[in-house]
Amino acid sequence: MFNKKTVRDIDVRGKRVLVRVDFNVPLKDGAVMDDTRIRAALPTLEYLLEQGAALILCSHLGRPKGKVVPELSLRPVAAYLGQVMGKPVAFADDCIGPAAESAARALKPGEVLLLENTRFHAGEKKNDPAMAKQLAALADLYVDDAFGSAHRAHASTEGVTKFLPAVAGFLMEKELRYLGGMIADPMQPFVAILGGAKISDKIGVITNLLTKSDAILIGGGMANTFFKAQGYPVGDSLVEDEVLDVARQLIQEAGSRLRLPFDVVIADRFDADADHKVMPMGPIPDGWRILDIGPETVRAYSKVIQGAKTVVWNGPMGVFEFPAFAKGTFGLAQAVAESDAVSIVGGGESVAAVKQSGLAESITHISTGGGASLEMLEGKTLPGVAALQDK
């Protein structure tokens, strides 16, 4: 359960506060294409400003691999954040060194500074103590509100906590309360919906959830590997042959709790305009591939969801980017939205699908962390969380 100090537990008046945010947002020609992560940080930032702090924000963006990549500069994000907050946001051309130090020194209470991309330095991903110390030297306190990066032990998420008092922001707190609380003590019946392409990404999740859930509803490409493990020919469907033994073992361990689709939508090629048809689950004809769960499966899964008190969902049920193969994912999104359960959706693709379905407002909690939420579902401790001060 959640036992970390938060911004409510510290006095920030007149202090410079280094806040690790997750501004890893999609940019196109220098414009922010999706501001979900920026808006998710606002409650923490506005609270700290109201309490009289000066804010120094740091984040990574993309994968510059320790080099300066101009297209991955956070400068456009600073401009966008200024518009959203209705106040100027200063920008430093580096996250450490003279540019960052002079900008941080000049900061007054109530002002906001965004540092350049932390991953422009190789020391970020290496969790280099020297880089962490330079970051920490900019501020008096550290707040981690970047749940999406909490599963990484990087200089700006874990290393910096060795040099500054470190607490959680509101977004981090919310994520840990929902995901941590749900894993530790879910209201029963507890139903997990798992999709996406690969079983290999989710072996730990399935294994952990088998001990807690009443039903695990499987869809997406990962279902094909389970089908093949049961001996079905799956045509040209995506399959992970290297984990067939693991799939067999999971089927055996789970018994009736692991539910697999009993009808599927198949297509003659991987294309939005492919010929497609619904068939009961059985041998898939050569040259055809499974691209979605079928309507009978949607009905059966929806019934299970209706009876649940807790639902956690990670991964789409089909290739929802193509309208012909989105019915499974959107059908389950509808069922989750209409249920009385506490519902938690995590993972980039499932979040995108729920938003696309127009039902995001009806979900209890949409997680901002893909890898981080997966690791929490596995029952792992996240380094960025472990490093924060206990209550």
Q: Which of 133, 198, 309, 355 is catalytic?
A: 198
**Distance spanning both ends of the chain, measured CA to CA:** 12
Residue 105, token pair as written in the block: 């020194």
Residue 371 catalytic? yes
Determine contact, residues 257/213, Cβ cutoff 8 Å.
yes
Active-site pick, 82, 180, 348, 370? 348
Task: List helix spans (H) across the chain.
Answer: 36-50, 75-85, 98-105, 122-125, 129-136, 170-175, 181-184, 203-210, 221-229, 244-254, 295-306, 327-338, 348-356, 370-377, 383-386
Which position among 180, 370, 371, 379 bears the catalytic label? 371
Q: Which of 162, 223, 209 is nearest to 373 (CA)?
A: 209
Question: Token pair 């984040």 is at which residue?
Answer: 59
What's the token pair of residue 184? 């530790």
Catalytic option among 4, 16, 20, 37: 37
Torsion of CA 227, 231, 234, 235, to 10 degrees: 170
198 is catalytic: yes
- Which residues are annotated as catalytic? 37, 198, 348, 371
